[in-house]
Structure 1
Amino acid sequence: MNIDRKHIFKVILTGLIIGISFRLIAFYITLPISSEYLYNTPFTIVNLLMGGLVGVAFATLFYQYKELKNNNELLSVCASTDDMTGLYNRRTGLSFLEEQLKLLQEKDIKLSVFFIDINNLKIVNDMYGHKEGDELIIIVGNILKESLRRDDFVCRIGGDEFLVVLPYCSLNQSEIVWNRICENINQYNSKKIKPYNLSLSHGAHECKKGETMEEILSFADKKMYEEKNKYRNLSLT
């Protein structure tokens, strides 16, 4: 276990300063004593030391609470995000979609979803290795995140599949978002960073009242695979 000596010194020093300061203030407020009594009696010295120790104890508790809070926040982030891409994970994505479906039932909002899949990832893995395939998934995640509106939500469902939730968005409006994603994909390909072209397939669905989350995902997934079939025999370049 590594001990951070600077951190320990900071806690002790902070506690001593706070504890002794409060003790001195208490002396001046509550005790009508002379300065000679304040600075020369053993009783006063002991009280100042006790104040310092109490201050150290409170400072230690404060820093421990702060560290515990930071650790809990970190655990919360780790539990809700995908390790590879840094996007939200499947569980968080489905939970968000479920919340939006409740709003759809209550307020009759527009709500659309995308199911997105990377084309020819298996070929990339076979030709260039799985490390390259993983990097491709990360690149796609970043492009999706940069292409969406402020209220939109994207998560990695697993493998090379992503779910995009578009609140307050009709099916026609969702195509504007998809076109922006495609433009960013084309812009990335134009830089010739990779020896192959990146492409995506998507299935779009506008959610309707009464549809379950399973039905919605099934509709979007089916449309995505219909589009994906068009890319099966296309070259990577």
Structure 2
Amino acid sequence: MNIIFKKLYTSTVTKTLNSITSFYNSQIPLLDVYSLKAEEMTEVILKEVLDVFINNPENFKNFFQEYKFNKFKNNPFVKDINYYIINKNGEIIETDYEPDLGLNLAKRIPSYWKFIQKKLSKTDPYISMLSFEVKTNFPRMYAYKTLDNGNIFELGILLNENSVPIFFKTISVLNFNFIQNIYTYNINYTPFSSKFPLLSKEEKNIFENSPVNTGKVNDYTIRELSNWKKAYIYFKWSPPTINNRKFNFVVLTKVVMDFSEIISLKNIVEILFIIITFSVAIIVLIFSYRNALRVEKPITNLIKNIEDGNIGKIDDHTGVREIDTLIKYYSHITKTLAQKLSEEEREFSNLKRKLESMEKEKNLLYDMALKDTLTKLFNKKGAMNIITKIIKNQESFCVIYLEVDNYYLVKDSLGIEEANDMILNLVDIMKQTFRDRDFVFRFTDSEFVVVLRFVNLEISQRVLKRFVDAIKKFNITTDAKYKISISYGLIEYKNQNIDNLFKDAQKKMKEMKELKKSLLRKMKSSKQ
């Protein structure tokens, strides 16, 4: 609704401005006729007055006063005549109009002074077209002639305002397209009619910043008041060129437009639009409700069967075309989804089996890489990884490096199976003796490393003694064909390199082994 009103509003403003400027432009030919008549009269007066001024300067003032009196008496077209002598600097040095004596045109109105000099350089004498006095808006003619001494003789003729059709005064008679009033002013903001109101400071600023439109109005300013009910339009207009002649004046126009009626109509239309929209909405709701009642039962049955999963019981002949179509689509979708789910389940099962197989292979490879195949203990590589983490966690620990003395003897004399059985029994003793938080590693066929965590050397010695006693007990109580014999070396971790830690413990183990061999040799020699 606002868009429609805005278009009407803009269209009305445009048509109003076009009508006003058309009226202005239509009056220019008539004004030009009066101007030509005034120019002819001015040329005659200038010639008569200038002839006396040049040839009889002593009697000129008396002559001029008498000449003015006769002109006013015999020519109702003329209201007053004044003469001015302007020197080269633009100063009025002589005039019969005392208030202007001493006025410097070059300083007071420099643009006009340059305009006169330019015109005289081309046409001398120069007679201006009809114009209007700035203070009173009376029609006026001006004539200029350069004297032999370089001064300028100016003649100003004030015309009777009733003798010239000043259409700017009567512009307010135009009353159409919501126009309330039209007011006109000259460039000095003086109204062309005493009935026109004076401009406010804000309105003067609007005109001051507005460009001049020649002939047709394209640039204008709009002030909207009272929620668009009233609009003020401001524009500057100057006459177009006619017959190669151009009037040198500007008309400031203020148009007051009253849109209160159209605003009221707009409000009524908006209310009607709301009522109609509301009525249509109610009708649509009633129609929709009736349709809903007609399809409620089939839809309820459809939803119930869907919730119960009874796809096969859904009746696709309910009598309502839309619902039947919906049921067919639903049945098709559910069957398709069931097929897809079945395929997905098969693919998922296959993928699960593949992943389980890969996991088993990974664990097998992991065990092969880090664990001993017989005892399932970590090997030396696994030991390096675990001890590195223990050191990184800044734990205190001790290391037992032990070797089964008679492993290869049992293997060679009793076979690999007995040797393996001895190793497994030894591992069982270690698992029963050492704590769950401790680690046991198998480095070689006959060598093992035990890591006792969170203990010092003294506690580790007691744990080691308990382990040795357990082996002795096994040897006494077992009926196996072999006895377990071990040599060992115990060392506490003191920030050593891991390799050096193993070497130091292994060195102590070898020292014990050599000591046992030495004692055995002594025992044999003493028997002999």
Question: TM class, shorter-chain normalised?
Answer: 0.7 to 0.9
The match for 1:147 is: 433
- What is the deviation of 1:160? 0.3
Distance 2:376 2:400 in 1: 19
Name 1:91's counterpart in structure 2.
381
**Greater per-residue helix proportion:** 1
**Larger displacement relative to structure 2 (200-209 or 39-48):** 39-48
CA contact (8 A) 1:112 1:204 kept: yes
Which residue is equivalent to 1:223?
508
SS of 2:393's partner is helix
Alignment of 1:69-108 (within 5 A): 69-104=359-394
1:183 aligns with 2:465: no
* CA distance 1:128–1:66, change in 2 (3 Å): closer
From 306, 309, 315, give the equivalent of 1:36.
Answer: 315
Match of 1:68 in 2: 358
Q: CA deviation at 1:166?
A: 1.3
The total of aligned residue pairs comes to 202
Query: 1:35 and 1:214, CA in 2 relative to 1: closer, same or farther beyond 3 A?
Result: same
Instruction: Give the TM-score normalised by structure 2.
Output: 0.35
More strand by share: 2
Displacement of 1:46 in angstroms is: 4.5
**Does structure 1 conserve the Cα–Cα contact (< 8 Å) formed by 2:398 and 2:453?**
yes
Greater alpha carbon shift after TM alignment, 190-199 vs 173-182: 190-199
| Distance of 1:175 and 1:203 partners within structure 2 | 10
Rounded Cα–Cα distance in structure 2 between residues aligned with 1:214 and 1:85? 23
Higher alpha-carbon deviation: 92-101 or 212-221: 92-101
1:203, CA displacement in angstroms? 0.1
Q: Distance in 2 between matches of 1:157 and 1:219?
A: 15
| Alignment CA distance shift 1:190-1:72 (3 Å) | same
Q: Normalising by structure 1, what TM-score? A: 0.73
The Cα shift of 1:132 comes to 2.1
Residue type matched to 2:445 in 1? G
CA contact (8 A) 2:440 2:451 kept: yes
Confirm or deny: 8 A CA contact 2:441 2:449 kept in the other structure.
yes
d(CA) in 1 for partners of 2:424, 2:406: 15
Give 1:131's aligned amino acid.
E
**Equivalent position SS for 2:315:** helix
Query: For each residue in 1:87-134, what CA deviation from the matched residue of structure 2 results, as whole angstroms up to 9, or x when unmatched?
Result: 111110122122223333xxxx42210100112223223322333223
| Structure 2 portions without partners, runs of 5+ | 1-304, 317-326, 524-528
Return the offset for 1:172.
0.8
User: What is the Cα deviation at residue 169 of structure 1?
Assistant: 1.3
Q: Which residue of 2 aligns with 1:18?
A: none
Does 1:205 pair with 2:495? no
- The 1:50–1:190 alpha-carbon spacing in structure 2 relative to 1, beyond 3 Å, is same
- Secondary structure of the residue aligned to 1:202 is strand
SS in 1 for 2:398: strand
- CA gap 1:125/1:62 in 2 versus in 1, 3 angstroms: closer
Structure 1 segment 109-120 matched on structure 2, within 5 A: 109-120=395-406
Q: CA distance change for structure 1 residues 177 and 28 in 2, over 3 Å: closer, same or farther? A: farther
Query: Does the 8 Å CA contact 1:112/1:207 hold for their aligned counterparts?
Result: yes
The worse-fitting range, judged by mean Cα deviation, of 172-181 and 186-195 is 186-195
Structure 1 counterpart SS, 2:480: coil
SS at match of 1:198: coil
Question: What SS is found at the alignment partner of 1:165?
Answer: strand
Q: Are 1:126 and 2:412 an aligned pair?
A: yes
Equivalent pair of 2:400/2:491 in contact (CA under 8 Å): yes
- One-letter amino acid of the structure 2 residue matched with residue 88 of structure 1: F
Counterpart of 1:56 (choices 334, 337, 346) is 346
The higher radius of gyration belongs to 2
The 8 Å contact of residues 113 and 164 in structure 1, kept in 2 or not, is answered as yes
Match of 2:423 among 109, 121, 137: 137
Distance 1:207 1:46, change over 3 A: closer
C-alpha distance in 2, partners of 1:143/1:218?
Answer: 25
What residue ranges of structure 1 are gaps of 5+ in the alignment?
Answer: 1-26
Q: Cα–Cα, structure 1 residues 42 and 115, in superposed 2: closer, same or farther, change >3 Å? A: same
Summarize the Cα distance change of 1:41–1:196 in structure 2 as closer, same or farther, 3 Å threshold. closer
Q: How far is the alpha carbon of 1:42 from its aligned partner?
A: 6.4
| Residues 196 and 230 (structure 1), Cα distance of their counterparts in 2 relative to 1, 3 Å cut | farther
CA separation of 1:172 and 1:64: change in aligned 2, threshold 3 A: same
Aligned residue type for 1:231: K
Is the alpha carbon distance of 1:62 and 1:122 closer, same or farther for their aligned partners in structure 2, counting shifts above 3 Å? closer
SS at match of 1:135: helix
State the shift of 1:41 in Å: 5.9
Q: Alpha-carbon deviations, 1:163-211, whole Å to 9, x = none?
A: 11112111111112212211221221122322332121110000102x1
Cα distance in 2 for residues equivalent to 1:225 and 1:60: 55
Once the 2 structures are TM-superposed, how far is the Cα of residue 44 of structure 1 from its aligned partner?
A: 4.9
Residues 36/93 of structure 1: CA separation in 2 closer, same or farther (3 Å cut):
same
- Name the CA distance, whole Å, in 1 between partners of 2:480 and 2:464: 22
Task: Identify if the C-alpha distance between structure 1 residues 231 and 43 changes in structure 2 by more than 3 Å, giving closer, same or farther.
Answer: same
Alpha carbons of 1:52 and 1:125: their partners in 2 closer, same or farther (altered >3 Å)? closer
Between the aligned partners of 2:436 and 2:334, the Cα distance in structure 1 is 61
